Amino acid sequence: MTQMIVIDIGKCTGCGTCELMCSFRHHGEFNPRKARIHKTVFLYDELAVPVVCSQCEDAWCERICPAGAIAHTIEPTSGAAVLKVDEQICVGCKMCMLACPFGNIAVGAKGHAEKCDLCDGDPQCVKFCPRGALHFADSERGEGEKRRKLATALAASYKESE
């Protein structure tokens, strides 16, 4: 069973702790611009939406990489399927950035692609989220959770409109 980061948008306050912990884990500094998870805040709607790599099964970034630097691996501790970038092979061409429809991969200051690697099966963004808006769950459970939350929100919206 593969695992993924599941986001509960209703619990996210936009505090940025996820970004800070991600950048600290990967770069040793608290710098949201270096994070591999990013939040978008919609002030007028009072909504914050964290976005992180979905670890796509048929990933466009993996398919388009001319150097073959992006490949699926299985994390031994969690069993999570992760798309990882081999920094030694990556040439920094940015084709993966163009291919990702979600904008979840970037070429960093060191000249190679960077994306969520699930922190080797122990995602720091999940561990330190103060509101519990992020969960590390089995992908099937995560998909079901997303469907249930969407259905609940739609039902509540329908009742409000009556």
CB 100 within 8 A of CB 60: yes
Average pLDDT over residues 97-125: 94
- Quick one: pLDDT at residue 162? 66
Please write the tens of the pLDDT for every residue from 59-95.
Answer: 999 999 999 999 999 888 777 788 999 999 999 999 9
10 Å CB burial of residue 129 (0-12, 13-18, 19+) is buried
**Could you tell me which residue, 25 or 143, shows the higher pLDDT?**
25
Residue 6 makes CB contacts below 8 A (sequence gap 6+) with: 134, 135, 136, 137, 141, 142, 145, 146
* 115 domain residue, yes or no: yes
| Domain membership of residue 149 as a residue range | 3-155
CATH of the domain at 72: 3.30.70.20
**Cα–Cα distance measured from residue 82 to residue 3, given in angstroms and rounded to the nearest whole number:** 9
Has residue 54 been placed in a domain? yes
Number of domains comprising the chain: 1
The secondary structure of 4-39 as a DSSP string is EEEE-GGG-----HHHHHHHHHHHSS--GGG-SEEE
Is residue 160 situated within a structural domain?
Answer: no
CB 61 within 8 A of CB 83: yes
Q: Is residue 81 part of a domain?
A: yes
Mean pLDDT of 23-27: 97
Asked, for residue 40, whether it belongs to a domain, the answer is yes
Q: Give first-to-last CA distance, the chain, whole Å.
A: 42
Indicate whether 112 belongs to any domain. Answer: yes
Q: Is the pTM of this model over 0.95?
A: no
Q: How far apart are CA 149 and CA 88, in angstroms?
A: 41
- Domain assignment present for 74: yes
161 part of a folded domain:
no
